[in-house]
């Protein structure tokens, strides 16, 4: 499985990568501290390199996670139709939860930090989704 991490905090990326590796969750982990770089990657990625899971932070400077999702929606990026996007946030705002539930690209909102239990839920949700794509 290919997973993309998008978070402006290098410590968060380090800890998520460590958890993913320890739990043998992904074959490939691609991380971006810049949502702009992540957007460019996602808009230009070759079909065989499309991530199956994206873990997206909401609160980032310049371009937020919401901005990135809006840009993906505006571009009509249909190649991400088989990709599950999980928002990772420390925000407890009900507005963020509602907005996540209403966004067709978002699978679910997860409160930081990502832990082994949440990772097991993601694995269960994605099981079998991508076998024909690998």
Distance of CA 52 to the CA centre of its chain: 9
Higher pLDDT, 77 or 98: 98
Domains in the chain, CATH or no CATH each:
2-59+69-107 (3.40.50.2300)
Residues 27-71 have pLDDT tens digits of: 999 999 999 999 999 988 888 888 999 999 999 999 999 999 999
CA separation, residue 100 to residues 17, 25, 67, 122 (Å): 24, 24, 13, 16
Dist CA 49 CA 90 (whole Å): 29
Residue 60 CB partners (closer than 8 Å, separation 6+): 6, 7, 8, 35
Vertex 12: Cα angle to 8 and 13 (nearest 5): 75
Residues 88-112 have pLDDT tens digits of: 998 888 999 999 999 989 999 999 9
Output the pLDDT for position 128. 61
Dist CA 57 CA 35 (whole Å): 9
Output the pLDDT for position 126. 85
Output the pLDDT for position 73. 83
- pLDDT category, 81, cuts 50, 70, 90? confident
Phi, psi of 106, rounded to the nearest 5 degrees: -90, 125
């Amino acid at each position: 499985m290919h997973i993309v991490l998008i978070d402006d905090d290098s410590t968060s990326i380090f800890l998520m990568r460590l958890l993913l590796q320890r739990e043998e969750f992904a074959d490939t982990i691609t991380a971006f501290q810049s949502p702009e770089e992540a957007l460019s990657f996602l808009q230009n990625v070759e079909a065989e390199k499309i991530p199956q899971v994206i873990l997206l932070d909401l609160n980032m400077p310049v371009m937020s996670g919401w901005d990135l999702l809006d840009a993906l929606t505006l571009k009509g990026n249909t190649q991400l139709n088989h990709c599950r996007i999980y928002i990772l946030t420390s925000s407890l705002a009900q507005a963020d939860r509602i907005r996540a539930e209403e966004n067709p690209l978002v699978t679910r909102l997860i409160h930081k930090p990502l832990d082994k239990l949440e990772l097991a839920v993601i694995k269960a949700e994605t099981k079998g989704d991508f076998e024909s794509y690998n």
